[in-house]
Structure 1
Amino acid sequence: MLVEDDEPVAESLRRGLLRYGFTVEWASTGTAALAVTDPYDLVLLDLGLPDTDGLDVCRELRRRGDVPIIVISARSDETDRVVGLEIGADDYVSKPFGVREVIARIRAVMRRVQPAQKAAAGPDRYGSRLLVDRKAARVRLDGAEVALTPKEYDLLAFLTEEPGALMSREQIMEAVWDANWFGPTKTLDVHVAALRRKLAGAVVIETVRGVGFRLVLTESTDAE
């Protein structure tokens, strides 16, 4: 949910989020935001709202539950940052900001939240052969542990978040390496090649030329 009263800013951010595969519900006031009943995974919250202070909205949202909240505001004063974080915000982004920075902050916050949720449910199974234990950061293929480097594991964990979804090179570099990575992306190809070799037969990592990669689970071909 995006809570922002400046329509041009909201529309620009909404378009950027849609390009990265997010679904966005927009509220232009604090009252409208607090009235939303549809479930949402994260809140982007402006503080300078026309009807109420965004800090009060943040406080009320936190009282209602544990949904991640990222404050986006022109208020760059340290006091506002500290207060926002102390009353329950998970991160704070000062205006002006770039869409890439916001996307990176969203992914970072969601990665902090999701492991705890996944750990409670135990390791994730992908197909009949691959097991990813996010709590222990371990991967097993046919019951045997696969030796992955830290970045190989991070890459696999990211790609298996949405099997079958096309992930752009930019998305992967931001999520697995660094939001400010501006160097060559050859390292990504090297890590993808390593995963293909180590997980051969369990997954296929398809290359979409000029765009990125897609992880596809393969069916077991073991004899009945």
Structure 2
Amino acid sequence: MHRILLIDDDAELGPPLAAYFARFDMALECALTPSNGLARLAQGGVDAAILDVMLPEMDGFALCRVIRKTSDIPILMLTARGEVMDRVVGLELGADDYVPKPFEPRELVARVQTVLRRRVVTPVAGTGGRLVFDGLVLDAATRTVQRQGEALELTSTEFDLLHLLAREPGKVFSRDDILNQLRGHEAELYTRAVDIVVSRLRKKLEPLDCIKTLRNAGYTLAVAPVTP
């Protein structure tokens, strides 16, 4: 059973939401403050976190930044009124998805299921799950990436995007291609999200220049594969 941590200062939200999550074989735990949430995350055993933007002590964006310093756990942001700027800021800080308030519990469950499902990657046939390039190694089985021998810490979305490009190096993926393959057709997304994730990836992959932009076309992995 997956364990999900909700960090939201609305004490009335947690119990009914936990009962709903239980119907989908997920245990939802609740923390009313960021400090309590961080303490629970430090104990381990949490598979995904849901952060409200409006929180005491620190807002959800600051909390996301703190979590990302030590963990690549999937993070969903609850954004008031679905503000576009909230979505952009959350994605820039490393959130994997967002759900605008007010939300339907079924939608939140579906979003959580999606980010959890994306963490399970089927290894590419004949590679043992490893994709090896000049200066870059991806391992689908362990969801790890090495850049020039150094392990990188990528969020779930960052790894999925890089793995998508690496499976077919040289192929150009449009923003719509990437959105559909990473998030599914039902997710409410916009192409700006892809640009944000690519920008984060490029910074983490430096000094390698792996991801090329083809104007009005999309993105491609432009690094040479290493043949066995």
TM-score normalised over the length of structure 2: 0.50
Aligned to 1:209: none
Aligned to 1:101: 107
- Give the greater-gyration-radius structure (CA): 1
Gaps of 5+ in 1: 124-133, 136-176, 181-224
Distance in 2 of aligned mates of 1:70 and 1:122: 31
Correspondence for 1:81 among 82, 87, 94: 87
Distance in 1 of aligned mates of 2:84 and 2:94: 16
Letter aligned with residue 7 of structure 1: A
Letter aligned with residue 49 of structure 2: V
Aligned residues: 127
Letter aligned with residue 10 of structure 2: D
RMSD: 2.7
- Per-residue CA shift, 1:37-74, capped at 9, x if unaligned? 13211001111112211111111111111100011132
Gaps of 5+ in 2: 130-139, 142-183, 188-228
> What is the CA distance between 1:119 and its match in structure 2?
3.1
Mapped pair 1:25 → 2:23: no
> What is the CA distance between 1:178 and its match in structure 2?
7.6
Contact map agreement 1:101 1:179 (CA 8 A) in 2: no
> What is the CA distance between 1:5 and its match in structure 2?
0.8
Structure 1 stretches (4+) deviating beyond 6 angstroms?
177-180
Flag the structure with higher helix content: 1
Distance in 1 of aligned mates of 2:62 and 2:185: 33
Q: Within 5 A, what are the aligned runs for 1:113-192?
A: 113-115=119-121, 119=123
Contact map agreement 2:81 2:102 (CA 8 A) in 1: no
TM-score normalised over the length of structure 1: 0.51
Q: For residues 122 and 60 of structure 1, do their structure 2 counterparts lie closer, same or farther at Cα, with a shift above 3 Å needed?
A: same
Aligned to 1:49: 55
Q: For residues 74 and 10 of structure 1, do their structure 2 counterparts lie closer, same or farther at Cα, with a shift above 3 Å needed?
A: farther
Letter aligned with residue 73 of structure 1: T
> What is the CA distance between 1:3 and its match in structure 2?
0.7
Identity %: 39
- Asked which structure has the greater RCO (Cα within 8 Å, sep 6+), the reply is 2
